[in-house]
Chain A
């Protein structure tokens, strides 16, 4: 646990020094969702039906694009190799780094999502469900994405490659995330979807840090 708090503190400090990174991801998310009404037209019914899916797809892409920053800085200055040699569990270190990465790139998306939801004509309950689903889903995206980020570390064209690796794995989160909002607006209740998202989160928390740690060892050997 000591390792975890140490990594959390260190990475939070580093993240605080680079606030512009947070804004870049956030504005990508906002611009991306605003493009859809311009593309398909301002018809309110249509936008209302598309809203959850659009916000979720944009969240997927925003979180994927920010993956490059997860290990890049530590890789460039050699800290990452030190971490590999350290006696502390690499999986814990990876978990800590991923959590901070989520706080810097996923959490802002969750917080701004209700405003984007309003643009698509969502109301009351649907907005709450949207926030809840993103709160449960975006950490999964960061955790699964960490595997892709560590496998493509230092490769040419790593950014586009990571999308090929990671986006298919994001599909379940997309389905249950957007599905939760749909279920709530159609009166079915979002309970089931949110429970499954929660289960996916627990699964990802348990399994992915080890996979990412193994991937890091492969990439830096």
Chain B
């Protein structure tokens, strides 16, 4: 672990400072990666033979879908750590990730819809992936509403951590059952798998866009966790000292 004292940063007070130093770096990385990613999406990636230019939606749709799933898992991991070791900071990180995760789930849903309309002729198709994405969005909504409904921060942290863990255990079961349901009800089972043959530049574009979204998520989560820390610790000495300095 080197010379850095990691335990020091597990306290909200010192993490507040650390996060403040990290945000500009991640934000810059995100902007740079978005520019490169968008350039590849629109100027480098070739036109698809079957789908024409409409397939370019893939460059935002797929990274958003990836991020929404990935954030849920990270959120559950933070929740698990928070429950097991009773660390306040990990609970705060979990709750600061949730809104951004829900945002990505929403983006994946409506971009899927905007892609589906020209390809399938319908705004919504009960395809296995879109349906699972919708349910994931519901899980985020449940997590956020539970957290908002409990006033006591300790209970709120622990209760939402538990529901995140229950959710993450259920995600594979839900995905499996939705897939099963989809294969049984033929007719609705048009899927993205028929979609364009992946050119190398397309994969690269998607990966870079995903990396950009990832950096965006880290920057926003750190920004939000700083706000949460200030709100929670507003009565503590270090916050009033900090306010002295700002004035």
Contacts and interface: CB of A to CB of B under 8 A. Distances in A.
A158 B178 CA distance: 28
B177 A156 contact: no
Interface in A176-215: 176, 179, 182-183, 200, 207, 211, 214-215
A155 B150 contact: yes
A221 interface: yes
Given A171-B135, A179-B181, A165 B149 contact: no
A44 interface: no
A172 B173 contact: yes
Interface residues of B, number: 28
Contacts of A179: 180-181, 184
SS of B interface (majority): helix
B174 A211 contact: no
Contacts of B138: 164, 167-168
A147 interface: yes
SS of A interface (majority): helix
Interface stretch (B7-15, B102-110, B155-163, B231-239): B155-163
A105 interface: no
Contacts of B177: 171-172, 175-176
Contacts of A167: 138
Contact of B163 (A155, A165, A176): A165
A211 to B, nearest CB: 6
A152 interface: yes
Nearest to B170: A169
A59 to B, nearest CB: 17
Contacts of A215: 159, 162
A54 interface: no
Interface string A26-66: 00000000000000000000000000000000000000000
Contacts of B181: 175, 179
Contacts of B154: 221
Contacts of A219: 155, 159
B142 A165 contact: yes
17 contacts: A147-B163, A151-B163, A152-B149, A156-B149, A158-B149, A161-B146, A164-B145, A165-B145, A168-B138, A169-B166, A169-B167, A171-B135, A171-B174, A175-B181, A214-B162, A215-B159, A221-B154
